[in-house]
């Protein structure tokens, strides 16, 4: 029964991962996916039913409540409880169901705000950024709980840590948009409505690391194929760029020729970089989609998708 259960399979990263499995196959006998309307991961009875219907030795946990800086500040309790509770219910039920491996994915937001280049061993070495402290705390707690269960119940576990992921299928909702989608939205809106300038929020000199969604998926799948799982694994791209430089790239991709202003009172906190040397050693992990190529691919999808949704109305 070498089966894989994927939570969050309908989400941004999950949908790409499932598509990759459908196209290229896997080492698993069967891959189970589901929607939140079929099984509720916050409900113990529903989780028990899920594990009975989809018996699996390996679980890849991608489900979770996500957001951006604004939503983290607006709903701190929701981000903590929703993310920890779903993982907790899943693990408590699965630990008694013959679980052999549990891999879950968290954001590099969980790292300390003061670290320069984030290494896996530094996950708990300092306080995270204040704006996402509850979200980061939930992810840290989740990682510790996963490994506590692994020790007690005798299964392997790995925490995969990703920088900001972007690409086709990215979130278009205002309370979920990450910097790439947010910048594309603002430039596209200004272009369609023939505005002379765009105002972006945040410190233009802050830095962020980005990884294209397909590269992230490849790294996750490679991790699942390891003979022995590491406790934690950074999957980064080394595409570290300032918000100002990122905005200029996206401005060119969108073909907006107006001025760019910055509202530093709406601070967007930057990351630095994550150290992916362990992934290079264990997986020979080498992202293939560079930033310019990735932005071109994302905008091709974004332009078509927003037209379908009639997202921009001329004023």
Task: Say if residue 158's pLDDT is above 90.
Answer: yes
- Tell me what pLDDT residue 153 has: 95
Count of alpha carbons within 13 angstroms of residue 271, beta-carbon side:
27
Task: Say if residue 177's pLDDT is above 60.
Answer: yes
Count of alpha carbons within 13 angstroms of residue 200, beta-carbon side:
29
Q: Where are the domains of the chain?
A: 3-165+209-234, 168-208+239-271+289-308
- Tell me what pLDDT residue 174 has: 73
Q: In sequence order, what DSSP letters do the residues of 112-172 get, joined into one string?
A: -TT-SEE-GGGTTSS---GGGHHHHHHHHHHHHHHHHHHHHHT-EEEEEEE-EEESTT---
Instruction: Establish whether domains 3-165+209-234 and 168-208+239-271+289-308 are of one fold.
Output: no
| pLDDT, tens digit, 9 for 90 and up, residues 33-43 | 999 999 999 89
Average pLDDT across the chain, whole number? 91
Q: Assign 107 a pLDDT band (cuts: 50, 70, 90).
A: very high
Helix, strand, coil shares of the chain, percent, nearest 5, are 45, 20, 35
* Superfamily of domain covering 168-208+239-271+289-308: UDP-galactose 4-epimerase, domain 1 (3.90.25.10)
* Superfamily of domain covering 3-165+209-234: NAD(P)-binding Rossmann-like Domain (3.40.50.720)
| pLDDT, tens digit, 9 for 90 and up, residues 191-248 | 999 999 999 988 899 889 999 999 999 999 999 999 999 999 999 998 999 999 999 9
CA 270 – CA 129 distance, rounded (Å): 10
Reference 260, options 273, 246, 271, 279; nearest CA is 246
Task: Say if residue 32's pLDDT is above 60.
Answer: yes
Reference 42, options 97, 9, 96, 82; nearest CA is 82
- Tell me what pLDDT residue 184 has: 96
Q: Assign 72 a pLDDT band (cuts: 50, 70, 90).
A: low
Q: Assign 250 a pLDDT band (cuts: 50, 70, 90).
A: very high
Task: Say if residue 78's pLDDT is above 60.
Answer: yes
Percentage of the residues of the chain whose pLDDT score is greater than 70 = 91
Beta strands in 140-287 (DSSP E): 156-162, 164-166, 197-201, 207-212, 232-234, 239-242, 259-263, 273-274
CA 71 – CA 173 distance, rounded (Å): 11
State the average pLDDT over residues 22-46.
Answer: 93
For the chain, state the CA radius of gyration: 20
Pairing type for strands 156-162 and 207-212 reads unpaired
State the average pLDDT over residues 10-37.
Answer: 94
Lowest mean per-residue pLDDT among 80-94, 149-163, 286-300: 80-94
- Tell me what pLDDT residue 141 has: 92
Q: Assign 67 a pLDDT band (cuts: 50, 70, 90).
A: low
* 117 vs 104: which has the higher pLDDT: 104
CA 147 – CA 187 distance, rounded (Å): 43
State the average pLDDT over residues 110-116.
Answer: 83
């Amino acid at each position: 029964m070498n089966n894989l259960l994927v939570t969050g399979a309908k989400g941004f990263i999950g949908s790409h991962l499932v598509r990759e499995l459908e196209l290229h196959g896997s080492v698993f006998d069967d891959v189970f996916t589901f929607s939140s309307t079929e099984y509720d991961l916050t409900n113990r009875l529903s989780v028990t039913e899920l594990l009975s219907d989809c018996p699996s030795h390996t679980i890849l946990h991608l489900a979770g409540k996500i957001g951006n800086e604004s939503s983290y500040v607006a709903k701190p309790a929701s981000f903590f409880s929703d993310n920890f509770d779903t993982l907790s219910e899943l693990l408590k039920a699965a630990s008694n169901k013959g679980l052999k491996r549990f891999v879950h994915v968290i954001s590099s937001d969980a790292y300390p705000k003061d670290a320069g280049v984030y290494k896996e061993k530094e996950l708990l070495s300092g306080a995270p950024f204040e704006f996402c402290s509850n979200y980061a705390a939930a992810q840290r707690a989740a990682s510790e709980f996963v490994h506590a269960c692994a020790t007690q119940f005798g299964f392997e576990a790995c925490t995969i840590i990703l920088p900001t992921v972007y690409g086709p299928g990215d979130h278009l909702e205002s309370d979920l948009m990450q910097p790439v989608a947010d910048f594309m939205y603002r430039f596209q809106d200004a272009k369609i409505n023939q505005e002379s300038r765009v105002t972006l929020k945040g410190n233009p000199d802050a830095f962020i690391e980005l990884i294209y969604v397909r590269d992230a998926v490849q790294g996750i799948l490679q991790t699942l194929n390891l003979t022995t799982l590491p406790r934690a694994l950074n999957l980064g791209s080394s595409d570290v760029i300032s918000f100002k430089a990122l905005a200029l790239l996206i401005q060119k991709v969108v073909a907006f020729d107006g001025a760019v202003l910055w509202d530093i009172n709406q601070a967007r906190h930057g990351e630095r970089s994550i150290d992916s040397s362990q992934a290079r050693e264990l997986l020979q992990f080498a992202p293939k989609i560079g930033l310019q190529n990735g932005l071109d691919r994302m905008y091709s999808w974004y332009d078509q998708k927003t037209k379908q949704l009639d997202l921009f109305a001329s004023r």
